C-alpha cells in the first residue's frame, strides 16, 4: 500500500538497533510497521510508523505516527539498504555478463576445435 511496499521489501521482518520492522501482505499489497524496542528486553513498545489514513486492507496510507530521533536512524538504514540492494543488482549484472562472455568463448572454442 502507499508508503509500505518499498520498505517492506527492503526490511522484511527484522530488528536493527532500537527498531523492529514488521512487514506483511494482504490481497491489496504490502504492509509495513516500525516499532520502538524496549531497551532491556527488546520487546515492542510503541508503533511509530504505520497506517495513517485510508481504509485498512484497501486504501491505507503509511507514515510516521510519532516524530523523533528514530526517523533519522530509519532514513540512514533505508539509504544503507538501498545501496546494498543496488550493489547486489550490479553484482548480478556483472556475473550475468561474465557468464555470457564465458559461454560465447566456450562456443567459439568448441566450433574451432571441430
Would you list the DSSP string of 30-71?
EEEEEEEEPTTT--EEEEEEEEEES-TTTT-EEEESS-SHHH
Between these two residues, 28 and 33, which has the higher pLDDT value? 33
Gap between the Cα atoms of 102 and 71, Å rounded: 46
CA distances from 9 to 4, 25, 36, 62, 98 (A): 9, 11, 20, 15, 28
Q: Is the pTM of this model over 0.95?
A: no
pLDDT value of residue 6: 94
Q: Which three cell numbers stand for residue 97?
A: 555478463
Categorize the per-residue pLDDT at 1 as very low, low, confident or very high, splitting at 50, 70 and 90.
Answer: low
Q: Is the pLDDT of residue 107 over 80?
A: yes
Q: Which three cell numbers stand for residue 52?
A: 495513517
Please give the mean pLDDT across all residues of the chain.
92
If you ran DSSP here, which 8-state letter would residue 2 be given? B
Q: What is the mean pLDDT of residues 87-109?
A: 88
Secondary structure tally for the chain: helices H, strands E? 2, 5
Q: What is the mean pLDDT of residues 48-57?
A: 92
Q: Which three cell numbers stand for residue 5?
A: 511496499
Amino acid at each position: 500500500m502507499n508508503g509500505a511496499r518499498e520498505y517492506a521489501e527492503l526490511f522484511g521482518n527484522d530488528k536493527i538497533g532500537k527498531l523492529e520492522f514488521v512487514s506483511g501482505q494482504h490481497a491489496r499489497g504490502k504492509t509495513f510497521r516500525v516499532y520502538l524496542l524496549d531497551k532491556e528486553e527488546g520487546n515492542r513498545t510503541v508503533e511509530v510508523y504505520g497506517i495513517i489514513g485510508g481504509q485498512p486492507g484497501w486504501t491505507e496510507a503509511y507514515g510516521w505516527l510519532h516524530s523523533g530521533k528514530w526517523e533519522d536512524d530509519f532514513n540512514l538504514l533505508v539509504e544503507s539498504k538501498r545501496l546494498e540492494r543496488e550493489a547486489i543488482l550490479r553484482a548480478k549484472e556483472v556475473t550475468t555478463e561474465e557468464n555470457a562472455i564465458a559461454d560465447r568463448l566456450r562456443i567459439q572454442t568448441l566450433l574451432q576445435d571441430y
